[in-house]
A and B are shown apart, each in its own frame.
Chain A
């Protein structure tokens, strides 16, 4: 099965789905590497668990549906879904979290809608939302960066924590999560939200010693690494520029409006660009060829819509990050966007 990203003019490429998916996996490497350097090895364990689960469930379901198994598994689409989901969740979440999430992504979101190419919703993000709604405690247990961890993690610790809930010396995730001061950390986006609820302004929060200890810089480095991987995909024309550019421009503009209206309670555009899942979303999640819009105008509208939803949910909503929710909501609008942005056939209806 060949994917042609363009409707017209027909850019003939010899690329097939497996090759595209492999390139996506390659482009994720810098982000994953930086993440593991800053936050520890646990992310590799999550990816391993997710990929194994994805391949097993995919094989079982292909068998149930009487489809060829090997060809479909070899297209790596399930692997990409699994890796994206594993990157999105906190890296010390217990093993059953990622197993439930991946199974849901593959079975309910992908195969019940008809398999690769038929699903309406982005499987990885739908799986993420299910996990976030179902297990709020495990899904918000983010780690501080490694140099700030009270007990730096070895790879064996990571395995033991994810599989049994305690590391080799018997410390639990909550204890590991504590930084040197014994203070539990949240993600930067979440910290800002909590501080705002406590009545502080953004600038006050950003200058507190607690915040400078936090994983803010870590999250920014990870975002930069994903940006690098994304540019690599753009250069190889695996993805087209419309969605990432529209999304990033949208984030900048919309967050600027909010920031300009009241800098005390809304964060700056730069902050929104490099925190949370912005870059991962812009290049790897929104650009999913199945669930994103397929026309040029449609892609721009889709990117802008996602950006608007992200800013609205981050600034006003109840959850700290918003990319997953924004992508799912925008996925629902895709048929409508595609319908109204169909390119005109030359010579018809003027």
Chain B
């Protein structure tokens, strides 16, 4: 665990404290808690474009929708499962050693998903490469474990993991789609490596071009598009608050 990640965790924990209190101390109805959790995960506190966590995989593998979706689903699985497990053992973990324990749980889950992808989606496994094992280091997952799952019950933690994972996957897919359209003029290219041969009809070719806009496929393009997506989100928020 690097010092930087520790710091990030602390700031996340501080931000999230009010949310956790909100969820448990106040006498809210179950429905309103779930609604709040969905809103936080998908929009207000989106791990991709608001907390800016897990930028490394976010920028590295989003060159096509398929890669983005593959990594998004893998991360979604890991964050839900780790939230459930950590929430289950939260009363039995000594506070001083909680982070190594969380990391071990997350690492074992990532190993599972890595072996599963190796077995069932081998081509996608090859094209994602090092970024599957690197899910371990995704700050979003340990952030949810520390800030939410270790303080809340299993049902809420599982739902929170689901919403955060979906929020992250959504940003990955949007960025992947934008880059794939700009660079190759296609959508869902190679989707059969993720979903099986039946899905190959989903590949759409939007335009044919001899020359591709290489910048979009390269890391700088990912950064620029990411900035534009964040700007768009802030602009929508401004519009909503000014109403």
Contacts and interface: CB of A to CB of B under 8 A. Distances in A.
Contacts of B224: 108
Contacts of B211: 135, 137-138
Contacts of A137: 211
Nearest to B215: A134
Interface in A105-125: 108
Interface residues of B, number: 8
A136 interface: yes
Nearest to B213: A134
B232 interface: no
A4 B215 CA distance: 37
Interface of A is mostly: helix
B204 interface: no
Interface size class of A (residues with CB under 8 A): under 10
Nearest to A108: B224
B22 interface: no
A231 B218 CA distance: 40
B187 to A, nearest CB: 20
B4 to A, nearest CB: 23
A89 to B, nearest CB: 14
A113 B220 CA distance: 17
Contacts of A130: 215
B214 interface: yes
A135 B215 CA distance: 9
Contacts of A134: 213-216
Interface string A132-148: 01111110000000000
A134 B215 CA distance: 5
B213 to A, nearest CB: 5
A110 to B, nearest CB: 14
Q: Which of A100, A108, A130, A134 gathers the greatest number of chain B CB atoms within 10 Å? A: A134
Interface string B155-195: 00000000000000000000000000000000000000000
Q: Which of A100, A135, A136, A138 gathers the greatest number of chain B CB atoms within 10 Å? A: A135
Contacts of A138: 211
A223 to B, nearest CB: 29
Contact of B218 (A100, A133, A135): A133
A134 B209 CA distance: 13
A10 to B, nearest CB: 38
A239 B218 CA distance: 37
Contacts of A136: 214
A134 B183 CA distance: 9
A135 B213 CA distance: 7
Nearest to A100: B213
A324 to B, nearest CB: 14
A125 to B, nearest CB: 15
Nearest to B221: A134
A130 B214 CA distance: 9
Interface in A75-121: 100, 108
Q: Which of A100, A108, A130, A136 gathers the greatest number of chain B CB atoms within 10 Å? A: A130
Contacts of A133: 214-215, 218, 220
A133 B211 CA distance: 12
Interface string B213-229: 11110101000100000
A207 to B, nearest CB: 36
A74 B165 CA distance: 50
Contacts of B216: 134
A108 B215 CA distance: 14
A331 to B, nearest CB: 15
6 contacts: A100-B213, A108-B224, A133-B214, A133-B220, A134-B214, A134-B216
Interface of A: 100, 108, 130, 133-138
Interface of B: 211, 213-216, 218, 220, 224
Given A100-B213, A133-B214, 9 more contacts: A108-B224, A133-B215, A133-B220, A134-B216, A135-B211, A135-B213, A135-B214, A137-B211, A138-B211
